[in-house]
């Protein structure tokens, strides 16, 4: 389950659909759009479209798409709308009405997960990373980010999962339940004292289970997977993620600067 080389998805962290009409719960959808929602599409928002069409942003299984309702309200087309010059009129709408809201939702879910603080709580940059106690690449990543963490520039929040080995869930629960989780994780990742799997209360086992579920719902498959925010040229805050151990270039981008 761990990868040495990363798989990068820029500006996007989509959840699989958990409901069918997240942006339209209080509004009745046109019949063709409702039919698509009944088939599993999650409808996120409505937008204006040319030619008398009405647009809807949607997603299913982590894939975003646009639905265009015909002027008579009786038919819907799923796809990309182009103008007479071949310009894509759909991409910007999906970015605004599907991706940005889902990224904000995802960042909130990450913040509400069960994680261990690594670094200064007042550090200006926060990175969430899914960590398995048995993952050698998680340990390498922990070592690679020490310059930024120790300089107070970056805080990592390790979302502890148990996916790589039979004792991974127990080790994750042991770390979360420690009297000083940050110090215990530091000792484990630095090699000073490896954590031993031990029985923990049901509450901590459920925390690991919830983290594992989040990992699956986000469609992830590698540890570490790290999520971080970036600001676009127009001032919009978006999310990037790196699955696997980042390259030097990706690490610098993730940390927001060269190593101090």
pLDDT computed for residue 33 by the predictor? 95
Burial of 180 (0-12, 13-18, 19+ CB in 10 A): exposed
pLDDT, averaged per 10 consecutive residues of the chain (260 residues), comes to: 38 38 61 94 91 92 88 94 93 86 89 97 96 97 97 97 97 97 97 93 97 92 93 81 94 94
pLDDT computed for residue 27 by the predictor? 64
pLDDT computed for residue 211 by the predictor? 98
pLDDT computed for residue 14 by the predictor? 39
Domains of the chain: 31-102 (3.10.450.70), 113-255 (3.40.30.10)
pLDDT computed for residue 151 by the predictor? 97
Query: pTM for the whole thing?
Result: 0.79
Peptide bond preceding 198: is omega within 30 degrees of 0, i.e. cis? no
Number of other residues whose CB lies within 10 A of the CB of residue 177: 18
């Amino acid at each position: 389950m761990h990868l040495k080389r990363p798989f990068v998805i820029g500006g996007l962290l989509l959840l699989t659909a958990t409901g069918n009409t997240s942006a339209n719960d209080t509004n009745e959808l046109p019949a063709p759009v409702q039919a698509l929602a009944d088939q599993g599409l999650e409808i996120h928002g409505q937008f204006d479209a040319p030619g008398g069409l009405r647009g809807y942003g949607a997603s299913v299984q982590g894939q975003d798409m646009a639905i265009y309702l015909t002027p008579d309200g009786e038919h819907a087309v799923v796809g990309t709308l182009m103008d007479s010059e071949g310009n894509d009129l759909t991409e910007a709408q999906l970015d605004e009405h599907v991706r940005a809201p889902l990224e904000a939702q995802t960042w909130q879910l990450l913040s509400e997960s069960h994680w261990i603080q690594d670094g200064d709580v007042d550090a200006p940059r926060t990175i969430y990373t899914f960590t398995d106690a048995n993952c050698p690449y998680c340990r390498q990543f922990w070592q690679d980010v020490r310059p930024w963490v120790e300089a107070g520039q970056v805080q990592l929040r390790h979302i502890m999962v148990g996916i790589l080995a039979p004792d991974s869930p127990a080790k994750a629960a042991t770390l979360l339940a420690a009297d000083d989780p940050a110090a215990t994780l530091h000792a484990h990742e630095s090699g000073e004292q490896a954590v031993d799997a031990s029985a923990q209360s049901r509450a901590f086992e459920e925390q690991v289970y919830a983290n594992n579920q989040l990992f699956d719902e986000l469609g992830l498959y590698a540890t570490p997977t790290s999520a971080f925010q970036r600001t676009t040229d127009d001032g919009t805050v978006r999310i990037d993620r790196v699955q696997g151990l980042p390259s030097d270039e990706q690490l610098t981008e993730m940390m927001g600067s060269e190593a101090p």
